[in-house]
Amino acid sequence: MSFRALLFTLLLVNIPSLGAPQNPAPSNDDACAACHKQIYDSYQQTLMANASGKASDGLVTGDFTHQASGVHYRVFNKDGRTWMSYERTGDATINGQRELLYYIGSGRKGRSYLFSKEGFLFESPINWYSQEGRWNMAPAYTEAREIPMNLPARRDCLNCHASGVQSPMPGTENRYDGRPFLHGGVSCERCHGQGTAHAEGNGPILNPAKLAPERRDAVCMQCHFEATVAIQQPGKHLYDFRPGDELSDYVHYFLLTGPATDSVEAVSQTEALALSVCKLKSGDRMSCTSCHDPHFEPADADKAAYFRGKCLACQSWPARMWPTPRQPITRSSAAGDCRSANRRMLTLLGG
């Protein structure tokens, strides 16, 4: 047997799963719902609230054969558990399955899945792509000749999709003693800070809108900005950031700019906003929440009208940002869709 075949035999050998994921622990969000039920119910329908959870939730089963590697993948449910199987015709060393425990991603564009091997948590080599309606290889592995089964699920990555993310065991980056996160999705406390004292009647909850602009924007920026390089500060981790903190105390961002490098990464909405005409003209008066209500998400059919209303409510909205130059900005105009401004900015930046 060749060294390469031996390597992948060892990598893919079937080892019993640690078992089905445990149900989420009670969250302080339940305490929020007691007094803020309307806001809570609305938030539960948003993408952020559903950014992670049990693999079986909303699963679309299916299969496909990856042409570059010749590996056939299948995702299926069996006895109340979710599995991914893999096999390659004519190669007995590539044949097995992994239990998928959790999903990561809202599902708007797609979802990644996590499996455990001897307590080490890994990303599955395949993703579900909602907009394409199909399973395919994880990004950067579309041309892989073998199965990438060693993609560690690091705490830094889990942090922006889940809440109550636990620390990995000492000396490891992805081995967890029990559930890797306590609550699926982004909980209320991720933006409003620890809420126990408020729930007990001991003072107000933190409202990001009332923070100084830099600290206000940091609440969104911690997850919606990806620079060329992010350097965590000595002894600090981004997952230790709490609303109201200075983000620069935890991480310093460096962004390479220039004609050949102007592009917006998948999560760099913060950069797109900073470069928009609206933000440049409005300055600190404008933030992500000027247009996006974090507690509410309009239906797809209503989004154009919803965001157009946000634009029209701002007296400084520049006419040149509309889809059709020189188009008058009036409430009776039916052609305007403010979302095109964001799309145009991403296009101008190469995204």
- Domain count along the chain: 3
Question: Same structural domain for residues 57 and 97?
Answer: yes
pLDDT at 338: 67
The pLDDT of residue 248 is: 95
Q: What was the pLDDT predicted at 20?
A: 52
- Listed in order, strand segments (DSSP E) in 105-209 are 110-117, 120-123, 126-129, 134-137, 151-152, 162-165, 181-184
Q: Please give the residue range of the domain that contains residue 242.
A: 208-256
Domain identity same for 40 and 135: yes
Residue-level pLDDT at 227: 85
Confirm whether 285 is domain-assigned: yes
pLDDT on residue 65:
97
Q: Strand runs (DSSP E) across 22-173, as ranges?
A: 52-54, 62-66, 71-78, 81-88, 91-104, 110-117, 120-123, 126-129, 134-137, 151-152, 162-165
Q: What is the pLDDT of residue 12?
A: 41
Are 132 and 175 contained in the same domain?
yes
Assigned domain for 252 exists: yes
Residue 196 lies in a domain: no
Question: What are the distances in angstroms from CA 282 to CA 207, 214, 316, 322, 346?
Answer: 21, 15, 8, 17, 19
Query: Are 242 and 278 in the same domain?
Result: no
Domain membership flag for residue 343: yes
pLDDT truncated to tens, each residue of the chain (351 aa)?
Answer: 444 444 333 334 333 334 455 554 546 788 899 999 999 999 999 999 999 999 999 899 999 999 999 999 999 999 999 999 999 999 999 999 999 999 999 999 999 999 999 999 999 999 999 999 999 999 989 999 999 999 999 998 899 999 999 999 999 999 999 999 999 999 999 999 999 899 888 999 999 999 999 999 999 999 998 888 999 999 999 999 999 999 999 999 998 876 655 454 554 788 888 888 888 889 999 999 999 999 999 998 898 889 888 888 875 555 544 444 434 444 444 345 666 555 554 444 433
Instruction: Answer whether residue 198 is part of any domain.
Output: no
Three-point CA angle 181, 184, 188, nearest 5°: 105
Question: 177 and 307 share a domain?
Answer: no
Decide if 274 is inside a domain: yes
pTM: 0.81
Same domain? For 247 and 285 the reply is no
Query: Do 241 and 269 fall into the same domain?
Result: no
Instruction: Strands of 105-247 (E only): list them.
Output: 110-117, 120-123, 126-129, 134-137, 151-152, 162-165, 181-184, 229-232
**Residue 203: inside a domain:** no
**166 and 247 both lie in a single domain:** no
Same domain, 272 and 233: no
Among 164, 190, 216, the domain-final residue is 190
Question: Per the domain annotation, does 184 fall within a domain?
Answer: yes
Are 40 and 182 in the same domain?
yes
Same domain, 284 and 247: no
42-48: long-range contacts, CB 8 A cutoff, minimum separation 24:
42/295, 42/296, 43/188, 43/294, 43/295, 43/296, 45/297, 46/294, 46/295, 46/296, 46/297, 47/106, 47/107, 47/108, 47/297, 48/106, 48/185, 48/186, 48/294
Residues 113 and 143 in one domain: yes
